[in-house]
Amino acid sequence: MLFQVGGQGARPTFFEMAAAQQLPASLRGALTYSIGVLALRRPFLHKVLDYEDEFFALLMLVLETHSLRNTDASFSESLYGLRRRAAKIRTKQADIRSKSNDGIQHSSLEKRQRVLSVVFLVILPYLKSKLHSIYNKEREARLQASLWGPGDERFEDVDYFDEAEASIASRTSTETEATIRTRLAKNIQKIIGVCYPWLHATTEGLTFTYQLLYLLDATGFYSVGLHALGIHVCRATGQELMDTSSRISKIRNRERERLPGPPWLKAVQGALLKCTYAVLDYAQTGLIAAVFIFKMMEWWYQSAEERMSAPTVYPPPPPPPPPKVAKDGIPLPPDRTICPLCSQKRANPSVVTVSGFVFCYACIHKYVSQYKRCPVTLMPADIDQIRRLFHDM
């Protein structure tokens, strides 16, 4: 058979692994939506949304650590009846010839593998999310710089009627106020903006390759992280599922016995530990219920009937073509950040509404006051038709 589609054997199917991998993303969407709704009545919850990455990473750190210690599986894998096993290649010839498990022996996870599993499940996704946000900010900054020039040369609280010399002086004073930390942060952002697309393409390509090989039964590792850790994900047997509760109780009793201090202090610590375990158990159940409710609400509000009854949304009309440059008008420079009048970087950019072309405010105010027309199209204009552009707000 080319690849598994059923539930036979200890090896999970591709669809089970994909569902377990996508569960944290669904959980994050459910939590973000729920907190966003509650924030409408409790504004202080907006602080949680401001630190969404850190909040979700801390939550998953607790859940993944708790799940790996008790069930040898991640939070999402334990919900699908899956377990993580250390894969060790057998060295004996007789074992290599055996058909079962393809010459690979499975054993319980070591402490090092549990710790590294938490790193791959929580820490690395958190770092990738932060790098992605930094890259998006850097890309927006580069796009804005290509349209309006570098950020250091933007308009800064000066009088609209100042001359170009005053604008140059203000830009010079602004540049001298830049700190070393700000420059270092900008350099780091530029490095991330250059390197992140290659890093993202590499990780996505490796992920796709491993998933395709797993689908075709060419490898037993579903992802690069599992291969690096030497871990196979297997189905839990019926006996393992039945023994899970007894195993968890044994681990918790052993931890309570190791508590230091006199008997009364051990009793207090044991009660607190028992309450903590109860909260974690109820939190797991509540999070699964939140994902289920989120999916139901998503299906309810985006049903086929609603989409069919929704009005047709037509694309916006294309913008009108720009006016043509007059034969005797001032030609436009190739760089869009250059003022056509002074041939310098625009200071206090302002637009002539009759034509749409942008100039320095001092330059266009002086020109229109004298000639009563647009310098590029020669269309009649007045100083009342000059508008400042606040692109940095």
- For the entire predicted model, the pTM comes to 0.58
pLDDT greater than 80 at residue 192: yes
List, for residues 233-275, the tens digit of each pLDDT value. 888 776 666 666 666 666 666 666 666 767 766 677 767 767 7
**pLDDT (0 to 100) of residue 160:** 39
List, for residues 69-125, the tens digit of each pLDDT value. 878 888 888 888 888 888 765 544 444 444 444 555 667 788 888 899 999 999 999
Residue 53 banded pLDDT, cuts 50, 70, 90: confident
Residue 205 banded pLDDT, cuts 50, 70, 90: very high
Q: What is the 3-state secondary structure (H, E, C) of the chain?
A: CCCCCCCCCCCCCHHHHHHHHHHHHHHHHHHHHHHHHHHCCCHHHHHHHHCHHHHHHHHHHHHHHHHHHHHCCCHHHHHCCEEEEEEEECCCHHHHHCCHHHHEEEECCCHHHHHHHHHHHHHHHHHHHHHHHHHHHHHHHHHHHHHHCCHHHCCCCCCCCCCHHHHHHHHHHHHHCCCHHHHHHHHHHHHHHHHHHHHHHHHHHHHHHHHHHHHCCCCCCCCHHHHHHCEEEEECCHHHHHHHHHHHHHHHHHHHHCCCCCHHHHHHHHHHHHHHHHHHHHHHHHHHHHHHHHHHHHHHHCCHHHHHHCCCCCCCCCCCCCCCCCCCCCCCCCCCCECCCCCCECCCEEEECCCCCEEEHHHHHHHHHHHCECCCCCCECCHHHEEECCCCC
pLDDT greater than 50 at residue 3: no
**pLDDT (0 to 100) of residue 202:** 92
pLDDT greater than 70 at residue 225: yes
Residue 191 banded pLDDT, cuts 50, 70, 90: confident
Q: CA–CA separation, 76 vs 24, rounded Å?
A: 7
Residue 334 banded pLDDT, cuts 50, 70, 90: confident
User: What average pLDDT score do residues 293-312 get?
Assistant: 57
